[in-house]
Structure 1
Amino acid sequence: MSAGLQPRSGWWQSDDALARVLCDLIAAEGRRLRVSLRLPPGPWPRETAMETLGFDSLDRIALAAAVSALLHMHESGLVDSMQSAPGFGAWCDAARAALDRVHARLSFSTSGSTGAPRSCTHALADLEAESDEHAALLGATPGTRIARILSAVPAHHIYGFLFTVLLPSRLDVPVLDIRPLSPGAVAACCRPGDLIVAYPELWSAIARGAPAGWPPRVTGVTSTAPCPAGTARALTAAGLHRLLEIHGASETAGLGWRDDPAAPYSLFAHWRRLSDDRLGRPGSDTATAMPDRVDWCGPRAYRVRARHDGAVQVGGVNVWPDRVRDLLCRHPDVAAATVRLMNEVEGRRLKAFVVPAAHVTDLAALRDALEALAATLSSADQPRAWRFGPVLPSTTMGKAADWTIDDPETAPVRSPSG
């Protein structure tokens, strides 16, 4: 066992870790059931009654099913004990009892918002092996022992589970939830040796607002989407010791890492390359598809091009711009539309370019109507910048092209053939 690593024990034996996982999962599922639901910050006290959180008996059935799906409680035969449990602490006790019986696998949900989330099952042993690699990477430089983990991500997603549940268990360090903090306050709360687990949008906000200079040996981790190279360079130039970027997906867990935005990703040791788009684990004949199109730079190094399924990440959530486009195109006043992710300078939200139908003369009214339509989607799916024009942006070769969001809207309004 490497120096500084604790013997591996069941992650669910930690009251804090189990409470954070269940609290984040219940909160996320509760918001899915009731969009307007407002819950207090977690983890909640053990005596918190589920009714006081706003959950009725039908809600509790759905919540228990979500917990069972993640933890495979149905395999233990104890799933019914959770539905009847009166308080949050009793829910944690029921989950622990089930995990004491069966804990070999977990099934994480994809962060899809526009599309239906998918269940992705992983062997706990595989996740623990990856977590050991994380521990080795983060302790590879002398004097870089992690003191605390500052988490800006939910513990029930696979990224959060790896870095804020399994890793602190292995390193025996505390976890501090920094989600309530503003980006500018994150650097101020850091101590020497802290590890910040966040995502590209938050890192960009921290880079813009953080003072020059960080405490010694503060390291960052980022995942869920590509981190803009300018953000990574700005953070390290300001004194962040290191920013580790993890490439992976809910379906695969971590695949590779890098700590230089100009470098390719290095394949984690628990993967081996089978072909240009397939990986396998040592000792297994099972092939795993890469979630993205990649260019290999060597036997174990690659650069990411784009996802196979067309998804992009907004705030750590998978979003499918084509599905948002299809929704906009169903409006009778829209002749055509395209939706894409803003570029690094513009931000990390969606933007839309709309070709109005020939009869439209009031752009302001059309924009209001489309914003109301988009408001039926999750926050991550909603375009935050709109442009209108007679034809969709294209190159001289007729291929779809990007557009800037600071140009004035095109006028007069004409039909696509006008």
Structure 2
Amino acid sequence: MKGFEMQGFERQGFELSENMLLEVIKALLADELKTLRPETAQDIFSEDWDQHTSIHPLPADAEQVSLQADSLEKLALATRVTDFFQLRESGLEDYLLRYKTLGQWVELVAEARKRGTQNLTFYTSGSTGQPKPCPQNWQSLVAEADYFRQIFTQRLQQPIQRILALSPCQHIYGFLFSALLPNLLQVPVIRGTRAFSLVQSRNLQAGDLVIGFPFIWKQISRSQQAFPAGVAGITSTGPCDPQVIQQLHQQGLNPLVEIYGSSETGGLGWREQTEQPFQLLPRWQAVEGRDDALLDLASHQQQPLNDQLQWQDARHFYPAGRLDQAVQVAGTNVFPARIAEQLRQLPEVQNVEVRLMSPEEGERLKAFVIPADPQQSESELRQQLQAWCQKNLKTAERPQAFTFGAQLPCNALGKASDWPLQTSNLTPTE
């Protein structure tokens, strides 16, 4: 597998530093706490946490920062870390519940990895909305990160000097490029609001690599400021609007590499120009007679895909549509049909259709609702639906516009069709 071997690194001995383990654990715990505390999710600031941060509750006047996790929350947090790092293989997972600080959790995970528990498990949402575990081989992850190290070194004609992470590192894409890659390179990582501020103000320098996703790149493209020479970007988690990529190119961001992949597979392909097909990563091989699977050369097993692929030749392809009916909202897979089915269970709703907005309308979901009571005022029903969505759906799943009518939109052939967005019905974007 030429081009897939590590060059300049010892693959077998490579390991995440304790500082990077801390960053990954912080991201995992923040994500879990936001699920456990949806009403106060905006108050969770993992950027303030360090190795001294307490997991247990502390008095309000304590100087030490605390997650203030009660016994049930601590169990959920320990389970999240145990699952991600596959700690059950080491037999050390029970110690998480005994330890009190993030630094102690980091030391425990580091010890487990020294004992050989190295593979990781990422999670993605399935069609039922339940997290789906996606185990990944550690050596395959390291090899993929090094492959892209070589790609960006070639494109920038210099080594990467710094990484600005606009994607969280608990998901496979963010982990590969804002945890694993900088650890390989031994370069600093800037995360969160500080990274976004530096990118928006173009306070960047040659050798910077910016890790983003389509929604965030669209926000960045709206600025008229130019990027300094020698800065590169990556986008993944879903299709990026070609007009956004073109605008970023005009502002001087070149290369901007699109990566196609999933939590189940890791990276599958990459390209620099939107009109080009994706180039298959060296780990993968096309399967003769199948456009919905690839052969993993590392495990010698076929891997089912979420999309069908349209092959141009043995190493180049275009994605040709999802098989699971998911759409992307701000880098998250959501399932409009499942959301519509949930809304149909409400007594106020006779029928409903949920779709992704068009690129001109926005990046969120919209809903067309047939009220159960035609006499109910639209404003009252809209408020009821918004309140239900706020309580029962995740942020990316919540429709941001509700349109009402006596029948669902359809075309002249009677098939379901799109409908124009009533901008006055938009709810505030979160």
- Tell me what 1:166 maps to: 180
Deviations 1:104-135 (A, max 9, x none): 41111115697011110011111112112211
Match of 1:398 among 400, 411, 414: 414
Distance 1:110-1:308 versus aligned 2 partners, 3 A rule:
same
Q: Matched residue of 2:351: which SS?
A: strand
Whole-angstrom CA distance in 2 between matches of 1:366 and 1:402: 21
Deviations 1:198-252 (A, max 9, x none): 110000000012x331111111101111001110000011111211111111111
Deviation at 1:358, TM superposition (A): 5.5
8 A Cα contact 2:163 2:208, kept in partner? yes
**Paired residue for 1:78, among 77, 92, 116?**
92
Mapped pair 1:16 → 2:19: yes
1:269 is aligned to 282
Other-structure match for 2:44: 39
1:49–1:216 distance in 2 versus 1, CA, 3 Å: same
- Corresponding residue for 2:60? none
Partner of 2:61: none
SS at match of 1:66: helix
Could you tell me which residue of structure 1 aligns to residue 132 of structure 2? 118
Structure 1 residue 294: deviation in Å? 2.4
For residues 401-416 of structure 1, what are the structure 2 equivalents within 5 Å?
A: 401-406=417-422
Give, as a single letter, the amino acid of the residue that structure 2 aligns with 1:45.
Answer: D
Of all paired residues, the percent bearing the same amino acid is 36
Taking only aligned residues, the RMSD between alpha carbons, in angstroms, comes to 2.3
Shift in Å, 1:345: 1.7
1:242 aligns with 255
Find the counterpart in structure 2 of residue 416 from structure 1: none
What residue in structure 2 maps to residue 29 of structure 1?
32
- Structure 1: state its 5+ residue gaps: 410-418
Equivalence map 1:249-264=2 (5 Å): 249-264=262-277
Q: TM-score, normalised by structure 2?
A: 0.89
Partner of 2:350: 335
Q: TM-score, normalised by structure 1?
A: 0.91
Question: What residue number does 1:194 align with?
Answer: 208
Measure how far apart 1:330 and its partner are. Answer: 1.6
Which deviations, in whole Å up to 9, do the C-alpha atoms of 1:278-318 show, x marking residues without a partner?
A: 11122644110111122222222221232211111212221
Counterparts in 2 of 1:182 and 1:3: CA distance versus 1, 3 Å? closer
Select between 107-116 and 222-231 the one with higher mean Cα deviation. 107-116
Distance 2:369 2:238 in 1: 26
3-state SS of the aligned residue for 2:222? helix
Alignment of 1:282-361 (within 5 A): 282=297, 284-357=299-372, 359-361=374-376
Change (3 A) 1:284 1:62: closer
- Cα distance in 2 for partners of 1:163, 1:387 equals 40
1:139 — aligned with what? Answer: 153
Q: Distance in 1 between matches of 2:15 and 2:31?
A: 20
Residues 287 and 389 of structure 1: CA distance in aligned 2, closer, same or farther (over 3 Å): same
Q: Deviations over 1:317-356 (max 9, x none)?
A: 2111111111221222322211111121211111111122
Corresponding pairs, count? 408
Structure 2 residue ranges without an equivalent (≥5): 57-65, 426-430
Counterparts of 1:113 and 1:197, CA distance in 2 = 27
Structure-2 separation of matches of 1:396 and 1:187? 49
User: Would you say 1:367 and 2:382 are equivalent positions?
Assistant: yes
Letter in 2 for 1:212: Q
Q: Distance in 2 between matches of 1:228 and 1:76?
A: 44
For residues 45-74 of structure 1, give each alpha carbon's deviation from its aligned partner in whole angstroms, at most 9, with x where no partner exists. Answer: 211111221112332222111111111111
Decide whether the 8 Å contact of 2:206 with 2:229 is kept in 1: yes
Of the structure 1 ranges 27-36 and 271-280, higher mean CA displacement relative to structure 2 is found in: 27-36
Q: Give me the whole-angstrom Cα distance separating, in 2, the residues matched to 1:277 and 1:18.
A: 35
